[in-house]
Amino acid sequence: MTSPDYSFEQAAQEAGSRIVAGVDEVGRGPLAGPVVAAAVVLNPARIPDGLRDSKMLTARRRAALAEILQDVAQVGIGSASVAEIDQINILRASHLAMARAIAALPVAPDHVLIDGNMIPRGLAVSAQPLIKGDARCVSIAAASIVAKIWRDRVMWDLAQQFPGYGWETNAGYPSKSHKAALQNLGVTPHHRRSFKPVHNILYQDKSISD
């Protein structure tokens, strides 16, 4: 399997964009917690070895790379809350998180490379979507790592407040134990009510009470 490289950033720079950021999000599939995005501007002279799509790395390697990236790159983090996810839908919320991550960068980018096939609405910067960007573009791979680590820490913190759902290990994704806990312990304020498994439990409970 080929590693992501710096060719997309280089092409954008050769076309006149001085500062190029990679953007990715994590957390579209979980039943609980925010969706989190990261934007990363790499220094081509200080790209850490081993940057990959975060899903291809061990938890320890992800954590180590995320720490290195905080030192050698420009990083912005953005998120959209459960309330926003339920209000505007998960796709728009993930795009909102991306826009917030770009805005949070310490330096304003001239161009952004975005994982996926869509550009968030209303971006005030030129953008290029890249399907499977985290496997092709090293800046997007870096963003996927930072976003994953950030969101996992959020879910670990929430797990301390709401034990029993396994968020410290499943990060809010619909594992068998998480779905069983939903049935047994009920819906928390951090569950996405617009997602079918959560909605069905709420609807079922309402039907019983009616």
Residues placed in the known binding site: 24-25, 115
Q: How many CB atoms lie within 10 A of CB 196?
A: 11
Q: What share of the chain is helix, strand, coil (3-state, %, to 5)?
A: 50, 15, 35
Annotated binding site for a divalent metal cation: which residue ranges?
24-25, 115
Residue pointed to by tokens 């790159």: 73
Please write down the long-range contacts of 133-136, taking CB distance under 8 Å and 24 or more positions apart: 133/22, 133/24, 134/4, 134/24, 134/52, 134/53, 134/54, 134/55, 135/1, 135/4, 135/52, 135/53, 135/56, 136/4, 136/5, 136/8
- Distance of alpha carbon 188 from alpha carbon 172, whole angstroms: 12
- Distance of alpha carbon 70 from alpha carbon 115, whole angstroms: 20
